[in-house]
Amino acid sequence: MSSLEAQISLYEPEIRAFQPASAADLEQFRIRFLGAKGLLKTISGEMKNVPAEERKDAGQRLNAFKNLIEATFDAFQQQFAAGVAAARPKADISLPGSPIPMGTRHPLRIVESEIISIFENIGFSVATGPEVEDDWHNFTSLNMHEHHPARDMQDTFYVSKDPDWVLRTHTSSVQARIMESQPLPIRVICPGRVYRNETISARAHCFFHQCEGLYIDKNVSFADLKQALYYFVTRMFGADTKVRFRPSYFPFTEPSAEMDISCTVCGGSGCNLCKHTGWVEILGCGMVHPNMLRNFNIDPEVYTGYAFGLGVERITQIKYQVNDLRLYSQNDVRFLKQFQGI
Ligand code: DAH
């Protein structure tokens, strides 16, 4: 047997059995048999050693071998090309894209951030405190002793009795914690969630949000309080907004007041929001009670301070005419969507 025939018979079974697992396998095959230094080239080189009388047959044999290699290669190459095409997603890139639904910030968050940024502009920093609070920080230190009637103003959720732990009923508890732990002067706002044992209705909820403000320094007066709140209101509701203060009572402030703003809906002529009075109440405030200062070893002869507490739901209701408190926690997308982009 000639060396040419010997080599062809050696490789033929391998080629017939060839099953590439990947395009890379097929490429290896191509290089090995059809490459510039491949076996087909080497074997063809044997032709010159074939005696002249056998050359015709040998030529045909070599040709058949070459066809076998090329046909094998071509068949698999087509198969891989078709596979790649089939795997490719049949996307029509000229179609409009499917929109990704946009989330929105919750209206209470929108308003809370706005409150924070307004007060930050006049030097307040943000402080937070725990929602589960002890009696001292939620009541006693705020000049509300055990039998103080003012405790009835707020229906409290008790987490435990003796010692008393409560879900804080107001963010004034954070005021107490700040007075206890921070050096003077203090100028903070304390946003957060508060809890009260109320039957849920359009006008009451068992949890809601407040933002407390506290400023303690030498020579802080009621005029400073009015000025800060006036600044807040005109930034929040517009430069034309009017304010008025009504005397009120809170155990932790003396004197105390409630502040109303001119109705932003009817401008004062009378509507449902202002119950036809032209005014809407937005917060409670006052000068920090000397007893409270003493509770935290702050000398009321040297330092004075003001405090205020506003309801975030209330501000949001006025600003966006939300008339039912329950909407804030129902997670109804139709409600939330209306705040998109704000
Ligand atoms: N803590 C009061 C409440 O929840 C709100 C309040 C009123 C806070 C007057 C104050 C204040 O700091 O001075 O009803």
How confident is the model over 156-191, as pLDDT tens digits? 999 999 899 999 999 999 999 999 999 999 999 999
20 lines ligand 1 (CB under 6 A): no
Residue bearing the CA closest to ligand 1, atom 3:
170
Residue 153: pLDDT band (50, 70, 90) is low
Residue 1: pLDDT band (50, 70, 90) is low
Give the span between the Cα atoms of 277 and 263, in whole angstroms.
8
Q: What angle do CA 228, 232, 234 make, to 5 degrees?
A: 120
Q: Is the pLDDT of residue 112 over 80?
A: yes
Residue 286: pLDDT band (50, 70, 90) is very high
Q: Mean of the pLDDT values across residues 183-202? A: 96
Q: Mean of the pLDDT values across residues 84-103? A: 80
Check residue 90 and give its pLDDT: 75
> Distance from the CA of 329 to the center of ligand 1, in angstroms?
23
Residue bearing the CA closest to ligand 1, atom 4:
170
Q: Mean of the pLDDT values across residues 45-70? A: 92
pLDDT cut 90: percent of the chain above it: 77
Q: Is the pLDDT of residue 152 over 90?
A: no
Residue bearing the CA closest to ligand 1, atom 12:
308
| Contact of 214 with 175, CB cutoff 8 Å | yes
The overall average pLDDT reported for the chain is 93
Check residue 95 and give its pLDDT: 87
The pick from 139, 308, 313 for probing ligand 1's pocket by mutation, whose C-beta has the most ligand atoms within 8 angstroms, reads: 308
253 lines ligand 1 (CB under 6 A): yes
> Distance from the CA of 208 to the center of ligand 1, in angstroms?
14
Check residue 236 and give its pLDDT: 97
Q: Is the pLDDT of residue 202 over 70?
A: yes
Q: Is the pLDDT of residue 322 over 80?
A: yes
In total, the chain counts a number of residues equal to 342
- In sequence order, which residues have a C-beta less than 8 Å from that of residue 140 and are 6 or more positions away? 146
Atom of ligand 1 nearest to the CA of 194: 4
How far is the CA of 56 from the CAs of 6, 49, 97, 129, 219, in angstroms?
A: 17, 13, 65, 99, 118
> Distance from the CA of 309 to the center of ligand 1, in angstroms?
4
How confident is the model over 214-256, as pLDDT tens digits? 999 999 999 999 999 999 999 999 999 999 999 999 999 999 9
Residue with tokens 């990704």: 100
What is the pairing mode between strands 186-195 and 125-126? Answer: parallel
DSSP character at residue 295: H
pTM: 0.73
Check residue 145 and give its pLDDT: 87
| Contact of 187 with 215, CB cutoff 8 Å | yes
Q: Is the pLDDT of residue 310 over 90?
A: yes
DSSP character at residue 88: S
Give the span between the Cα atoms of 29 and 206, in whole angstroms.
76
Residue bearing the CA closest to ligand 1, atom 13:
285
Residue 12: pLDDT band (50, 70, 90) is very high
Query: DSSP string covering 181-204, please?
Result: HSPSSEEEEEEEEEE------SS-
What is the pairing mode between strands 279-288 and 304-311? Answer: antiparallel
| Contact of 243 with 230, CB cutoff 8 Å | yes
174 lines ligand 1 (CB under 6 A): no
> Distance from the CA of 289 to the center of ligand 1, in angstroms?
12
